Chain A
């Protein structure tokens, strides 16, 4: 390494504030992008587009809450899309087999399936001391393979989907009539996302288990000496992330009216990109719910607005990849400056 890299960088007041509060940096980025996209195509500011953007935040957003917690503790998770889809598909298949039509019980069931799978991750990470990336790569592949190889490969479409679930996910918060006379509604699922985010935020900031997650990310040995139970914390994080994934899976199926066991493949990359963009550090100990939500919002807005900006959607992956690299570079530069 060259000497210049190791020397503490000189920073202006603005740069220091932006680095210390990544939320402000991401929020500024979001605002600038919104203005730019709106300038290229004013249709961006239509209620219909804004509502559909917010709706697109819900699934990635809830999944990001789980991944953010895991990254706070210094781990990473790539298994959650498989868990989410497995929980969704098994729940809906069971509902159809038992001819059951309801909302609360199925969501409890899907959440429980996700929770169990998350605990398996935790078992491998704590008891067998294996690197989280490799564990979750293994559990993700095994669960997806089991789902497709044993439970089923066929998509359940709207004709067979439980009607109560669709009805629940169709609930709107507000209804607006656009200039062209079209009715557009803001999905109530946005509220579900906000409530879950608030819950995770309060848990992280104001409970002992929340503080232990930050402590674990700061250093395992230090957390142990401070009196936190390291295995307990790890089981909690991966269990909660799994439960959130199971819940989100069923919500996703309900929102798109289709249960496709092949769905969500590769979604982990978007979610990780959003969480990293939100300022979470993969070295653990840094990250917040607000930052993550802003990261999700910005990522969803940028990738979903490619069409509005007349850019071919094949560019979506390049945009996501660039976001991961640039955001991770800034985060790593920030954390290096802090430790120097």
Chain B
């Protein structure tokens, strides 16, 4: 409602005014985190290595956050993204071990062909898992929370049954390159994230599918009466979310040279936090890719800064949780003053 009444004033402000104020606030926060961390610990924080390592570690979390945002756009949530990511990495790993042996040159020096097959296996895992979520939510009409809690357990469970518990260690060198090498001086994971972010960003703002997603999240009933194919759109959003999660699984297993059924459990809260902090309304209807990228940058700077200050990982978790609550409180206050 308020968007409609506000629009004329925003047009008068020209190009700059069309930028979402929440986005500007996010950019300010990113800058603030950077300045504070640099001031607290300049000689350790202001080193190229710190920023370079972020460009390798952050993208997998960024992909999961975009996946989370897509589900939140229609008022849903995807709690199965971690399960999908791990299962995708594990299935690809099992294929590599079956094809080239569990260690030795047959595995490490695998040709590009079989490695490409591994990528197809991982991405298909994401598509199928996302489609299962989509059917459960859009056709069987389960609540997204319960559907994805249940399916996430099943995906993790399949990974556990296939591996028996221990991690799958050892991937082809080419697969590892996806997570550890750079192209034109830029980390490959970062390139993957930027490409995915650009595509999803364009899709949300420039295609009828993206507009339909936001309309469904704003008012499902109105969207249905307006003739939108709501079930199909919601289904596709979960397929896309599953695909992004499996890409995160590829990056995670490529960077660490391993995959396990319970890796990255803390990523779930972090993905929700980045989505919410990046201006996504978990009740649906609002969310943007640039917001997610900025929130990701702010939180990665924050956590590497804290780690350099010798905070334990547990304390970093505490700060993330507190940050989520704080951002909820600030959003609530901002909406109240409007």
Residues of A within 8 A of B (CB): 1, 5, 76, 124, 127-131, 133-135, 137-150, 153, 265, 269, 272-273, 276, 282-283, 312, 314-325, 328-329, 332, 336
Contacts and interface: CB of A to CB of B under 8 A. Distances in A.
Contact of A145 (B142, B282, B318): B318
A324 B143 CA distance: 11
A149 B314 contact: yes
B283 interface: yes
B337 to A, nearest CB: 14
A314 B165 contact: yes
B293 to A, nearest CB: 20
Interface in B134-167: 136, 140-143, 145-147, 149-154, 156-158, 160-161, 164-165
Given A134-B276, A135-B325, A144-B317, A332 B149 contact: no
Given A145-B316, A145-B320, A149-B315, A325 B151 contact: yes
A318 B324 contact: no
Nearest to A329: B140
B140 A124 contact: no
B27 to A, nearest CB: 23
B332 interface: yes
Interface residues of B, number: 49
B332 A130 contact: yes
Contacts of A138: 269, 273, 321-322, 324-325, 328
Contact of B269 (A137, A269, A322): A137
Contacts of B316: 145, 149
21 contacts: A124-B329, A130-B332, A137-B268, A138-B273, A141-B320, A141-B324, A144-B321, A145-B316, A145-B318, A149-B315, A149-B317, A150-B315, A314-B161, A317-B154, A318-B154, A318-B157, A321-B149, A325-B142, A325-B154, A329-B142, A332-B142
- Of B152, B157, B312, B319, the most chain A CB neighbours within 10 A belong to B157
Nearest to B230: A1
Contacts of B273: 138
Contacts of B158: 318
A336 B154 CA distance: 26
B269 A128 contact: no
Interface string B274-302: 00100000110000000000000000000
A325 B142 CA distance: 8
B131 interface: no
A282 B318 contact: no
B77 interface: yes
A72 to B, nearest CB: 15
A314 B141 CA distance: 29
A146 B318 contact: yes
B272 interface: yes
A316 B156 CA distance: 10
A318 B161 contact: yes
Contacts of B320: 141-142, 145
Contact of B329 (A128, A150, A314, A318): A128
B283 A131 contact: yes
Contacts of A127: 332
A314 B143 contact: no
B177 interface: no
B226 to A, nearest CB: 15
